Structure 1
Amino acid sequence: MVEFKIVEQAAIQRLGDASILEGRLIAPEPPESLAMIGDDRYLSVMCRRIFRAGLTHRLVDQRWPAFEIAFDDFSLERVAALEDTDLQRLSRDESLIRHRKKIFAVRDNAIAMQAIVDEFGSFGVWLAGWPEDEIVDLWLALRVRFTQLGGNSAPAFLRMCGKDTFLLTNWVVRALEKWGAYAGKTSSKGALQAVQDVFNRWESQSERDYCQISQILAFSID
């Protein structure tokens, strides 16, 4: 596995200049900001990510104001109290995206989030306290606790929230192989831990955020 400075230099060469690379990198929210975000906003973002899966993001985003109205601004208490008949009605609502399983997942996830709030005080506190050098364990915890957060949906949700995480896009996976860091499937728990170890090492070398390391990886290959 090469040192990360070689990966970064390849990304700079592809983009043409170090300033161009820096201008395209994102920055995560600090833990104190994550802890202050309301539980309703986390539920909204989680559900938006779930509905985005398999659809164009623009379509989902255009309809999201209607979702906010339909689900009472994603109040955990009110959403968790919805009856099956309420959800069946919403799954037929033409102003929303009529996907029955995802509509019902909104209530399931409100209930799951309430359990975390009861234990930690808020979902944001729980999220903010999770160490980035164990971020794949957070992905797995989200997949277990919540509905419809399999595949890349858990890390994508974290990225949308501002939690520092890498993503395993096709570009990133290809770059990991190119630079001799990891090759093969990334779906098993053991594979994810091996990839986490790679990112931990590169984070130590570069002192960059995990989200930036995965971006640089994607920029480093043709």
Structure 2
Amino acid sequence: MPIPASLQNLIDALRVLPGVGPKSAARMAFHLVQRDQVGASDLAHALENALGTLKHCRHCNTFTEADTCDICLDEQRNHAQLCVIEMPTDLMSIEQTRSYEGLYFVLMGRLSPLDGIGPHDIALKQLLERASDGQVTEVILATNFTTEGEATAHYVAEMLRARGLKVSRIARGLPVGGELEHVDPGTLAQALIERRGL
């Protein structure tokens, strides 16, 4: 049975979402059109509003509706610490811990030569300007512990150390509440290497 062009366009549009394949996209499209047209309309309006309203914070590069985000405007935060992360979702995760009181810088990606993403494709130039503003004394690298995240952290660390900035990296190790028998060997080895005194 041929699928109407408008429905196929919706399925194709949903496939841009991470982790959504052709079958999932088709299920979502049929659900929105058949069972939840109000939800589909709300989704369309929310997406249109977000695209028309959101921009990058001029200080930290995360998404905001104003020129400067609320975190950067907060005078209670430690303006001497700058935590470098890959994506705004990482900022949200760190904020949920309520354990960090400094500021952020969002790269909006990571170095990935195999995917054609080099130093000019993420916000490294803006990071260098932000970290060299005279207020920042420590840059904390909180990129992911993937091959690309590690390469990005190394590149950024070298770039910032050349400017005389103190650079640190978040620690790796065991999850809170985790049991040793269920931890992968690489994580367990790293936890032993990065052990600290009590």
Give the structure with the higher percent strand: 2
More helix by percentage: 1
User: Scaled by the length of structure 2, what TM-score is found?
Assistant: 0.20
Query: Which structure is larger by alpha-carbon Rg, 1 or 2?
Result: 2
